[in-house]
Structure 1
Amino acid sequence: MNAGPLVVVGDVLLDIDIVGAASRLCPDAPVPVIDQAGERPRPGGAGLAALLAAAEGREVVLVTALADDEPGHRLRALLEPHLELAAFHLHGGTPCKLRIQAEGQPVARLDVGEGRAQDGPVGPRVTEALSEAGAVLVSDYGRGVTGHAAIRTLLERLATEIPVVWDPHPRGEPPVPRTRLMTPNEDEAARLAAANGAEIGGGGLASATRRARHLARSWKLEAVAVTLGAEGALLCDGPGAPFLAPAEPVLAHGPADSCGAGDSFAVRATEVLADGGGLARAVGEGVRRACDFVHSGAATAVASRLADTGSPVVRPPREEADAWDVAERTRRAGGTVVATGGCFDVLHAGHVNLLQQARRLGDCLIVCVNSDDSVRRRKGPDRPVTPVGDRVRVLRALSDVDATLVFDEDTPEPLLERLRPGVWVKGADYAGVRLPEAGIVQAGGGEIVLLPLLEGRSTTRVLSTAQPSTAHSSTAKGSTS
């Protein structure tokens, strides 16, 4: 682990979202009228990357160029409460991107400010910050910071000593030799490879691999990870087979907004490398962080948090947020929310049959899953056999399951009070039994339905018919732990 701060080097932009509602067209042109518009500013470019790293509790120094103008002053005010700025002079106006949105849907974008960093003095603090770095993330937005002669000389030295991650831009500078990881997206990789003499056509993993390897050879990089959007990221770090870190499906609130996902990916990859992790782990965790970031509402959520609380921290509870959103969208569309629950310790054909039948009763199926502690209280100290994270992952892979929720209580009553399913499903083995959650389900306007079970299929039976020696050994170990 490198003890120094995470230093982000690159071009900072001022992003401003102008957000309002649109219910009518302008009388003199076929364009929407944005009513009750509000302004939400946030740092963009390297500023957003540095802010995301600081939101995770990292010590962060941002090396950049800032103009002495009103947008530049706004950027300082947005950044300085959360990280250290080591800035030198930006020649020209601060680059600003204004996105006009109507109820979350982009309507137009205006770009102003053509400021660029130019060679000249950078000041002692910039040099000190880079010399003290534990890891460096270069966030290049093509505005000249990464091409500054003094900064580039320092980066070339640092790449031989500490992890340097380079998030490139087609109009930016090539990464310095020995860069640990470069993180272009598909389009950037294609354009960068073409600019370096390799017109590699087509899409898919094969083309991405060829581009990544060409760039690594051309620039003497240790590894290249091409981000593939919803497909994840492809890591090429040598002549062997590439490593694909797949992305999980993202359920975003409203129209999907991937703005800033690449910054989030690069930040997390840099953090893992700074802490001594390997490239595959860095890329895998980067993909997961980017998925979480898009799920939370992306950079728009950062702007909202800055405006509302002054903090950039956005950490949604992914599993729960998915389920609540699925239920709400289903109800808004006039559909029926179906829910069921259980331990699902060793998933078997009986479980699958029940879930298939349950899904046919409505328009979405949400499965409430007992936590490990809840299973132990119900089934004994040797259960569960499968930890809750794995149980949830298997359930979410089933096409009939739309979302999951985990509960720690003995019954899912607290979840059901909030979820308000239209149908609560249990197996026919509960016939004649007064369910403790019945009152809550019915009070929420729902009904309880019992479904038939597949005869002879149960977790207990599966475990009891396992090899006796294995079962006995497992039980013995559990009783002594």
Structure 2
Amino acid sequence: MSVLKNVRGLAEWVPAELAAAAPVITVVGDVILDGWWSGSIERFCREAPAPVVDLQRRDYAPGGAANTAMNLAALGARVRLVGLVGMDDAGSRLRALLDDAGVDTTGLLSTAAIQTTTKNRIIGADQVMLRIDDQAGIPSDECIAELAAAVPDAVAGSAAVVVCDYGTGALGPAVMRALTAYAGSTLVVVDAHDPRPWSELEPAIVTPNAQETARLLGATFPAGTSGREELVTERRGELFEATRAAAVVVTLDRDGTVLLSKEGQAHRTWARPASEKQASGAGDTFVACLTAARAAGMPMTTSLDLAQAAADVVVGRPGTSVCSTADLTEYLGGLSSAILPLDELLRRVAGEREQGRRIVLTNGCFDVLHRGHTRYLTQAKQLGDVLVVALNGDDSVRRLKGPDRPINPLADRAGVIAALSCVDYVTAFDTDTPVPLIEALRPDIYAKGGDYSSQMLAEAPVVERCGGTVRILDYVPERSTTAVVEKIRTLPVESTANSTAHSTVESVVDSAVGSPAAPPSAPTGVQ
């Protein structure tokens, strides 16, 4: 059995491992009841030039911190929720939905002093026409004190705590003091409109979105989406100083996420293109999956890639929804059979070009994936908008590398590459060079690793003749498939067997940075 033979089961193994860990996770935050009221539009009202929506159904879902709790429960975590609701119909409905999902609502306190925050979207003809927000108001000191008093019992024995602060005023200094006792011994993740007040906790992870990051930096991002990644990377020192977090993950909606380290950019994920259907709460899903994976002991970059996949799942659904382990299995399984024939690839790339996107092509054997590969593919993605990876077919690999290669057949290699969020499309070719593919695809940029030069490439003049540019990327020394294979072959048989599962997940999904240790109270089954 080859080292990565189990990659075919990666889509099932990782979500199953996540659910099997079943970590206890406490969510402390602002809870919301989301309403999705839909109907038809056939006329305008007489009083104003406004459409009349004839309501046909009313759907409700937990939102805000309650949505984070729902996603955690769907991923197999044992969830406790601490928050405030009013003694009203909305509060009762919200509690019932959470109870049905298996969330422990002992810490969800009902009080007559506030009303439950609701956000009702009015949808007509598949279009959100209006959102009606009914805010809870600022809780009294007594309510906040009661909320803080519920924190110790809820957090006791938890592998992780997620703080969801949307600025309602409920999570004041009293709640902060209650959580401070657990800082350093429990994985703390802060998802807040303003993470600065939570810096006293020295959280393990903060997850500001683009707007929140801009406010925190006192900056204005460039128009559109370009330049945001560079700006947050350049000013990462300010983010770490303001949040005092061990890791900062900036979520960039359609552009995925950026994991920052104090030395620079540590990892990128990319959102896969999807047609949004009035989706809401994808950020809650991302935070939930990231926390669940870290609480289960998974490496940081593995956790980020899983969280991005979970967010991709819910963005393609209408309303406020959750991503379960079954959803992750199905989604990742779909990626593992992603070798596109040339005609289908050309059709999809034509659609990307119509949207003004720049096409990047790279190719290689990618036999046993390692850090050099993933760093290289991340850099290639950053050269344009859409990354196409062309894999040498098995016969082509044998001609290039010798009769004992490839270690892994084409289907397995494609499944691994397709699982990386930086890769948009995977195809294959059996010729000794990708020249015929380049002539058909006509990429805007052709990328190769730093162990080549443009003068060495037979493809270079073809790329330029087709109107493209050749880019040579960084070379990561002492990282090669040959070295990995040689190391495996020289290990004792027992050591090789014991390291197989670790190599599969660590090499396939984890990439640019090392694997931070699991939090002290988290299970350590996956490293």
TM-score, length-normalised on structure 1? 0.62
Structure 2 runs not aligned, ≥5 long: 1-17, 351-406, 429-484, 490-496, 498-527
Name the counterpart of 2:154: 129
In the TM superposition, residue 251 of structure 1 has moved relative to its aligned partner by: 2.5
Distance 1:131 1:383, change over 3 A: closer
Confirm or deny: 8 A CA contact 2:274 2:316 kept in the other structure.
Answer: yes
Report the secondary structure of 2:82's partner residue.
strand
Q: Does 1:249 align with 2:272?
A: yes
Report the secondary structure of 1:286's partner residue.
helix
Q: Does 1:265 align with 2:286?
A: yes
- Bigger Rg, which one: 1
Distance 1:23 1:9, change over 3 A: same
Q: Does 1:94 align with 2:116?
A: yes
Confirm or deny: 8 A CA contact 2:23 2:292 kept in the other structure.
Answer: no
Within 5 Å, give how 1:67-86 maps onto structure 2: 67-81=86-100, 82-85=102-105, 86=107
Name the counterpart of 1:226: 250
* Among 169, 184, 187, the residue aligned to 1:160: 184
Within 5 Å, give how 1:69-218 maps onto structure 2: 69-81=88-100, 82-85=102-105, 86-90=107-111, 91-117=113-139, 118=141, 119-122=144-147, 126-149=151-174, 151-170=175-194, 173-194=197-218, 199=219, 202=222, 203-218=227-242
Distance 1:95 1:357, change over 3 A: closer
CA distance in 1, matches of 2:241, 2:325: 38
CA distance in 1, matches of 2:148, 2:192: 25
Confirm or deny: 8 A CA contact 2:75 2:325 kept in the other structure.
Answer: no
Per-residue CA deviation, residues 331-379 of structure 1 (Å, 9 max, x unaligned), is xxxxxxxxxxx996xx9xxx6479659999xxxxxxxxxxxxxxxxxxx
Within 5 Å, give how 1:383-394 maps onto structure 2: 384-387=409-412, 389-390=415-416
Per-residue CA deviation, residues 230-271 of structure 1 (Å, 9 max, x unaligned), is 111111122x2213423242323xx44341011011111111
In the TM superposition, residue 46 of structure 1 has moved relative to its aligned partner by: 0.3
Confirm or deny: 8 A CA contact 2:22 2:78 kept in the other structure.
Answer: no
In the TM superposition, residue 42 of structure 1 has moved relative to its aligned partner by: 1.1
Name the counterpart of 1:50: 69
Higher relative contact order (CA 8 A, sep 6+): 2
In the TM superposition, residue 27 of structure 1 has moved relative to its aligned partner by: 3.5
| Percent identical residues | 27
CA distance in 1, matches of 2:304, 2:349: 35
Distance 1:237 1:33, change over 3 A: same
Structure 1 runs not aligned, ≥5 long: 306-310, 323-341, 361-381, 401-469, 475-480
CA distance in 2, matches of 1:262, 1:212: 21
Report the secondary structure of 1:93's partner residue.
coil
In the TM superposition, residue 193 of structure 1 has moved relative to its aligned partner by: 2.6
CA distance in 1, matches of 2:22, 2:333: 35
Confirm or deny: 8 A CA contact 1:93 1:115 kept in the other structure.
Answer: yes
Amino acid at match of 2:49: P
Confirm or deny: 8 A CA contact 2:161 2:187 kept in the other structure.
Answer: yes
Distance 1:281 1:131, change over 3 A: same
Name the counterpart of 1:278: 299
In the TM superposition, residue 22 of structure 1 has moved relative to its aligned partner by: 1.7
CA distance in 2, matches of 1:233, 1:205: 9
Amino acid at match of 2:75: E
| TM-align CA RMSD | 4.1
Alignment length (residue pairs) = 346
In the TM superposition, residue 313 of structure 1 has moved relative to its aligned partner by: 8.1
Confirm or deny: 8 A CA contact 2:195 2:206 kept in the other structure.
Answer: no
CA distance in 2, matches of 1:132, 1:37: 45
Amino acid at match of 2:305: G
* Among 11, 35, 42, the residue aligned to 1:16: 35
Q: Does 1:397 align with 2:429?
A: no
In the TM superposition, residue 102 of structure 1 has moved relative to its aligned partner by: 1.2
Confirm or deny: 8 A CA contact 2:309 2:331 kept in the other structure.
Answer: no
TM-score, length-normalised on structure 2? 0.57
